[in-house]
A and B are shown apart, each in its own frame.
Chain A
Amino acid sequence: EADIYQTPRYLVIGTGKKITLECSQTMGHDKMYWYQQDPGMELHLIHYSYGVNSTEKGDLSSESTVSRIRTEHFPLTLESARPSHTSQYLCASSPKNEQYFGPGTRLTVT
Chain B
Amino acid sequence: DQQVKQNSPSLSVQEGRISILNCDYTNSMFDYFLWYKKYPAEGPTFLISISSIKDKNEDGRFTVFLNKSAKHLSLHIVPSQPGDSAVYFCAASASFTGANSKLTFGKGITLSVRP
List residues of A whose CB falls within 8 A of some B CB.
1, 4, 6, 9, 31, 33, 40-43, 45, 48, 50, 58-59, 90-92, 94, 96-104, 106
Contact = CB atoms under 8 A, between A and B. Distances in A.
Contacts of B105: 42-43
Given A31-B101, A42-B108, A97 B45 contact: no
Given A40-B9, A42-B4, A101 B44 contact: yes
Given A42-B105, A42-B106, A42-B108, A101 B45 contact: yes
A31 B95 CA distance: 14
Nearest to B51: A97
A33 B101 CA distance: 11
Interface string B8-46: 010000000000000000000000101010000111111
B44 A43 contact: yes
Interface string B73-110: 00000000000000001010100100101110111100
Given A31-B101, A43-B89, A102 B43 contact: yes
